[in-house]
């Protein structure tokens, strides 16, 4: 049986910890920070304050902390530990920090909405945003990933939704709970665009994940392999103007 404990969300009477969320401005594209955006790290440390805190760093922070904003929530460590392997490790690592009352989580601004929806799910077992699956993968909430995947599998597939699913981070695509949806998206695109020459203008706008799904199929319906070769060259020139970009991305 799944219990709804939404009444305890951000309620100090039913919480034993304080979660301090530091929200930093998203790094600019192609910056060193963006290049390491998936290198999540967790570290414990002391802060020069009367009450020591545990700092959990999600994505790398922007150096200028003046650009950050802070949200504070009352949380129940037992509820989060039951639903999330991330919080389970944090609260039960046996170290001194695991018993501290304050926890600081650093995220980028683009993660804020997903994180709030994810916390809401862990309390209420319901979601308003399906893209929270990315946050669920990061924080190890497998039940949430499974919930999202089942909802999406039972929703009508469209070219836009299929491309969206396949363009998620690699760790999400490789997760066992997400594999059925990723496979369904690939099958949908491969079946819809068997003859890429017939839909050339539409497919030409696809990101590389969509092109890979179509070309990996054994059901391509084209008159000649040369047609596929010509299409790939045309697509590569359009999406990667510089030859060195093609070598890196293709």
Return per-residue pLDDT of the chain as tens, 250 residues. Answer: 456 788 888 898 999 999 999 998 866 554 443 333 333 333 333 333 334 344 444 433 333 445 678 999 999 999 999 889 988 888 887 666 567 788 888 888 888 888 888 888 888 877 655 667 888 888 888 888 888 888 889 888 999 999 999 998 899 999 999 999 999 999 999 999 998 888 888 999 999 999 999 999 888 888 888 888 888 889 988 888 777 665 656 5
Domain that holds residue 95: 6-126
Burial 76-108 (b: 16+ CB within 10 A, else e): bbebbbebbebbeebbeeeeebeebebbbbbbb
Residue 247 contacts by C-beta under 8 Å, 6 or more apart in sequence? none
d(CA 60, CA 53): 18
Residues 94 and 193 in one domain: no
Strands 69-75 and 17-24: antiparallel
Residues 213 and 122 in one domain: no
Assigned domain for 121 exists: yes
Domain boundary among 111, 126, 141: 126
For residue 66, what is the domain's CATH number?
Answer: 3.30.710
Residues 19 and 119 in one domain: yes
Phi, psi (rounded to 5 degrees) for 102: -100, 135
Residues 65 and 107 in one domain: yes
Residues 16 and 87 in one domain: yes
Assigned domain for 25 exists: yes
Assigned domain for 111 exists: yes
Helices (H) and strands (E) in the chain, counts: 13, 4
Residue 17 contacts by C-beta under 8 Å, 6 or more apart in sequence? 74, 75, 76, 77, 91, 101, 102, 103
Number of domains in the chain: 2
d(CA 11, CA 74): 6
Please report, in angstroms and rounded to a whole number, the separation of the first and last CA atoms in the chain. Answer: 47
Residues 107 and 21 in one domain: yes
Domain boundary among 110, 126, 142: 126
């Amino acid at each position: 049986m799944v219990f709804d404990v939404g009444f305890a969300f951000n309620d100090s009477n039913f919480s034993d910890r304080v979660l301090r969320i530091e929200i930093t401005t998203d790094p600019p594209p192609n910056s060193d920070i963006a290049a390491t955006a998936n290198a999540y790290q967790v570290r414990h440390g002391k802060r020069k304050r009367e009450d020591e805190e545990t700092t959990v760093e999600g994505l790398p922070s922007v150096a200028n902390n003046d650009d950050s904003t802070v949200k504070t929530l009352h949380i129940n460590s037992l509820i989060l530990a039951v639903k999330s392997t991330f919080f389970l490790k944090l609260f039960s690592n046996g170290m001194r920090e695991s018993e501290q009352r304050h926890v600081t989580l650093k995220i980028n601004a683009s993660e804020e909405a997903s994180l709030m929806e994810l916390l809401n799910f862990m309390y209420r077992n319901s979601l308003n945003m399906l893209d929270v699956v990315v946050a669920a993968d990061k924080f190890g909430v497998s039940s949430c990933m499974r919930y999202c995947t089942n909802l999406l599998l039972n929703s009508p597939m469209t070219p836009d939704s299929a491309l969206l699913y396949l363009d998620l981070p690699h760790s999400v695509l490789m997760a066992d709970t997400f594999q059925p949806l990723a496979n369904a998206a690939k099958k949908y695109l491969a079946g819809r665009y068997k003859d890429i020459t017939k839909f050339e203008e539409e497919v030409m706008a696809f990101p590389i994940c969509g092109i890979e799904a179509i070309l990996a199929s054994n059901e391509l319906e084209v008159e000649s392999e040369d047609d596929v070769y010509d299409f790939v060259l045309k697509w590569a020139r359009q999406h990667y103007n510089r030859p060195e970009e093609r070598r890196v991305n293709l």
